[in-house]
Amino acid sequence: MTALDHSQTTRPATVPEWLRAGESRLRLQTIVRLRWLAVLGQTITVIGAYWVLGIELPIGACLAVIALSAWINVALRIRFPASHRLKSHYAFLMLGYDILQLAVMLFLTGGLQNPFAFLLIAPVTVSASTLPLKIIFALGALAIGAATLLTTFHYPLPWFDHTNLVLPFPYVMGVWAALVSGILFISFYSWRTAEEGRRMAEALAAAELVLAREQKLSALDGLAAAAAHGLGTPLATVAVVTKELMRDVKPSDPHYEDLVLLRAQAERCRQILAELAGRGEELDVIVSRLSLSHLIEEVVSPHRLVAVPIEVETGPAEGVQPDSPAAYEPITQRNPGVLYGLGNLVENAVDFATSKVDVTARWSKDEVRIVIADDGKGFPPNVLEQLGEPFVTTRPDEAFGEDAPDRVGMGLGFFIAKTLLERSGARLELANRESPQSGAVVTVVWPRGRFERAGEWGSRELD
């Protein structure tokens, strides 16, 4: 069981196409607001330095560059709605302009000697949170290139009393090194955080879609029973009317055989609905509540005789007295999420087992423990600690031969199973068998009180 993934798991239809394709998640409104903030900050800084502090700087050129950004913002707001989502190349142009505009401002006011040079990091950080990786690299290279040129090419740094402050070149290079380090580190950190958030959101959408499908399947039995009760009266009416019509029609009449067929079919429908109603009543009483052994059997039965044998063992844990209350088998509420989660673990054990799969269920006064073990190669050490994160998988294409195209893992199966089981109050433990044995072992543990509380899990599964 080296890769915990469900063969039927696919990316959910609720995930937007642009997100799955790696397109930009950046809205125009975000760029416009950030740029207005930059325009306001640059204006206040330039005016304050020139008129309040008396520092001589090229005020006309600086205000012209700031006015250009303001004019572009106004044009964008007029041309596009605020909710417009930028395509990747347009987002690159917008953020690239912000880098160049800030570089021109720094060129006019001392280059990297200007303490505001660190703001070159901002556009790259924004791109790292919302754009594809190739765009982030391009913007990072543009910012680093601009910073490199500003180490040498720039107007002198304006200072008081109409003088220019000249800082040592090693200091300027230290600022350049700090700026480049900040661009690389902060951009990578922002990209990694945003990527994990995106993958988690997509995987949770897949988990909710799977759970909704399981709940719909569980609800079909109740709907069948309701349909049986609802259609019983109209079918009885059809049978009575057909019987009355047959009394008035002679066997030689051409419509007599049609009436006989109609009555027979109505009676057949009533029998089918009666069976459905009886099955629904049986499910209400029995299947809605499951003992632990029945739960295990329902999980295991679809996978028996598929590839390798599955050996099931249930019973009280060691040390539990046979006549104590703890020895009684725990009973739980039927839960689609738990059935799906356990079924996913059993399916993967069957896929990667060599000769057999062992499923062991034990209970005590305090806990209920289910252990699913196979005798395959076990979990690879390099992914053991990462299993449970979305899109982490080691399921190889060749593991399934001709069926590989339909069985290639995406890393969502175990994430979904883990999420559903943990929402029911369970804790998952992953390990490999101790040498000389080989194989993977997955242990699912519930507090007994949580396992036995009925009707509580379903209300929490989609919280």
Same domain for 168 and 269?
no
197-254 residue pLDDT tens: 777 666 666 666 666 665 655 555 555 655 665 676 677 777 778 887 887 777 878 7
Same domain for 56 and 205?
yes
Residue 350, in any domain of the structure:
yes
Q: Which of 209, 237, 261 is the last residue of a domain?
A: 209
Burial class (CB in 10 A: 0-12, 13-18, 19+), 152: exposed
Under the banding of pLDDT at 50, 70 and 90, the label for residue 146 is: very high
On whether the CB atoms of residues 173 and 111 are closer than 8 A, the answer is: no
Residue-level pLDDT at 8: 39
Residue 393 confidence (pLDDT) above 70: no
Same domain for 259 and 307?
no
Same domain for 302 and 244?
no
Q: What is the per-residue burial (b if ≥16 Cβ within 10 Å, else e) of 398-409?
A: ebbeeeeeebbb
Q: Which of 239, 255, 288 is the last residue of a domain?
A: 288
Residue 171 confidence (pLDDT) above 70: yes
Residue 10, in any domain of the structure:
no
On whether the CB atoms of residues 312 and 381 are closer than 8 A, the answer is: no
Residue with tokens 């844990």: 317
Give the span between the Cα atoms of 415 and 10, in whole angstroms.
13
Residue 96, in any domain of the structure:
yes
Same domain for 265 and 197?
no
Give the span between the Cα atoms of 395 and 304, in whole angstroms.
22
Q: Residue 278 sits in which domain range?
A: 214-288
Same domain for 173 and 256?
no
Residue 419's nearest CA partner among 462, 452, 449, 362 is: 462
Residue 1, in any domain of the structure:
no
Same domain for 424 and 297?
yes
Same domain for 48 and 126?
yes
The pTM of this model reads 0.49
